[in-house]
Amino acid sequence: MTAIPPNSPAAPGSVAPPADEGPVLRIGQVQGNGERSPLEGQVVVVEGVVTGNFGSGLGGFFIQDDGDGDASTSDGLLVMPAAENLPPVRAGQRVRVRGHVTEDKADNPRGTMTVLRATRIDARGAGEVAATKLSAPPMDWEALEGMRVQVEATLTLNGTDARFGETLASFDGRLWTPTELAEPGSERIKQVEADNARRRIVLDDASNRRDPDKLWYLPQGEVRGGSTTTGAEGIVDQRHGGWRLQLIEPLRVAAAPRGEAPQVAGNVRVAVFNLENMFNGDGHGGGFPTSRGARTPQQLEAQTAKLVATLRALNPDIAALMELENDGYGPESSIAQFVAALNADGSDWRFIDTGAGPGIDTIRVGLIYRASKVAPVGKFAVLEGGPFGERSRVPLAQAFRRGDDGQPFTVVANHFKSKGCSEAEGLDRDQGDGQGCWNALRVDSARRLDAWLKTDPTGSGGRAVVVGDFNSYAMEDPLRYLRDAGWQDAFVVAGVQEPYSFMHEGRLGRLDHALLSPALAKSLRGAAEWHSNADESRRHGYAQGNEAGPWRSSDHDPMLLGFDL
């Protein structure tokens, strides 16, 4: 930011006010060394250099002085004039401000922003304020509230919320969902939560406007998760739940590259993919908008193209699918039309037809396979009752065989109840341990699933892979129950480091899992995720920008497993 040359006879350091204004205070005296100003409710006069005028976006501007010598007090302050008195101030201008000291919640559940409600603003020439350099996250952002900073450290960008013009960034690498790494209720999970809070910072567009056409501070108007930036410059602000930088310069971004579809060893490949609500209207081009998924026939066509591109690139022999519309198996059904789209290139995909369902929920799981690669063995099996119905979706198990003499093995498709809190009561309410709502029901689902599979419902001799969207991160109760019962995490068996399939609020983790029976674990030859979705901006999805190809075909990353069978 270039300083504006002096344009007033007043010296930049002058603090002599008119006699009726009272003494000019240092901004640090107004901010104090606590969360709230020690002068809250009082009328004060301060003087400083404008570091950013965000009147059109935030309704005010920031000023900063040359400090009070106390590192525990901030030297910056947000000035909020009455709308009719908003002056045409600009960065680099020195101003003297008289006003009431207030504390603004700004939708902040955990803190307030010290604000000066201005009743008088006088231009005092020009000045310059150097940005405070940050090579690491500060011990306390409060001491920098309202100040201009430049982050010399590399920040990792963890996805953009284009609705609010925000990008969640972090010092020292990416953020992880605590229950992906640590057991709920443990001391370790407290450490992960504290570390996330310490490293997290929101990069904002200096505006409260919703759904901006483009984020001016990003080179392409959006960013892929895992990209990085160095030298981010902005003003420290506190609103909407935490600390953020209101940016004053565009970011210099090193974009994270997209990876090609993974390849795994083995002669049988199994994909696992949450389709994010594959609904096809009435199956004849009408019936839109549906309750979920595509809103128009054109969106359905775009969604189908992305999902087909994803599975073709993975090239599996079997695919376990979640969030299919539960609309039967006739020619007009979602699963039949999806398989037809896969076969448009001459492939020989088939689907397991359970007659109805499985289950009575709006969405269901499904199993599809390539007839030239594997063949179903015996009859499918489903687990109904208890939590499986309108909560957790009914699991579907089917045994398959490669060739005429291959050993049969079972693929079990699952989709446990989500973490949303609608209708949750008792132990299914959020217990405040990071597992969200319905954890008790998901644990019950895991217990019943394990007991059922130990009866070998498909007759495959106990060789089974249990896959799907469990709506539980790796260290949450349902997954720990299944591992304690003997099921082995395929990604641990394969030695995959830091796997993830989902990103929520900028934090990575796995809601999607693949668990192996001991009898099948020895046949595993590889496990991989394709980060074609979780790291991608929603703007690439079928409902928005619809970038060609598999990118953002879903909100979950697909998985691919390879076996020697």
Q: What residue segments make up the domains of the chain, in order of their start?
A: 24-126, 132-254, 268-563
Tell me, yes or no, if the two domains 24-126 and 132-254 fold the same way.
yes
Whether residue 248 contacts residue 233, with contact meaning beta carbons closer than 8 Å, is answered with yes
Whether residue 145 contacts residue 76, with contact meaning beta carbons closer than 8 Å, is answered with yes
In a 3-state reduction of DSSP, which class is residue 137? Answer: coil
Distance CA 316, CA 326 (A): 23
Whether residue 350 contacts residue 371, with contact meaning beta carbons closer than 8 Å, is answered with yes
Distance CA 472, CA 184 (A): 12
Task: For the sheet with 268-278, list strands across it.
Answer: 349-351, 363-370, 318-325, 268-278, 559-563, 524-529
Token code pair at residue 159: 């996805």
pLDDT given at position 86: 63
Whether residue 369 contacts residue 410, with contact meaning beta carbons closer than 8 Å, is answered with no
What CATH number does the domain located at 132-254 have?
Answer: 2.40.50
CATH topology of domain 24-126: OB fold (Dihydrolipoamide Acetyltransferase, E2P) (2.40.50)
Instruction: Give the largest CA-CA distance in the chain.
Output: 99
Is the N-terminal amide bond of 87 cis, ω within 30° of 0? no
Q: Give residues with Cβ within 8 angstroms of 413, minimum separation 6.
A: 320, 321, 322, 365, 366, 367, 395, 396, 397, 467, 468
Token code pair at residue 52: 């950013």
Whether residue 438 contacts residue 424, with contact meaning beta carbons closer than 8 Å, is answered with yes
What CATH architecture is 268-563?
Answer: 4-Layer Sandwich (3.60)
The one-letter amino acid code at 415 reads H
Distance CA 349, CA 342 (A): 7
Distance CA 251, CA 25 (A): 34
pLDDT given at position 105: 81
Model pLDDT for residues 321-336, shown as the tens digit of each residue: 999 999 999 999 999 9
pLDDT per 10-residue tile (average), the chain, 565 residues: 29 40 92 95 97 91 96 97 76 96 80 92 95 96 97 95 90 98 96 96 93 89 94 96 95 96 97 98 96 97 98 98 98 98 98 97 98 98 96 98 92 98 97 96 98 97 97 98 98 98 97 98 98 95 95 98 97
Q: What is the DSSP string of 467-503?
A: EEE-SS-TTSHHHHHHHHTT-EEHHHHTT-SS---EE
Whether residue 442 contacts residue 481, with contact meaning beta carbons closer than 8 Å, is answered with no
Token code pair at residue 407: 């050993």
Pairing of strands 148-161, 132-134: parallel
Chain-centre distance of CA 198, in angstroms? Answer: 18
Closest C-alpha among 365, 381, 512, 357 to residue 454: 381
Distance CA 162, CA 536 (A): 12
Distance CA 518, CA 449 (A): 16
Closest C-alpha among 565, 316, 359, 336 to residue 464: 565
Distance CA 259, CA 551 (A): 11
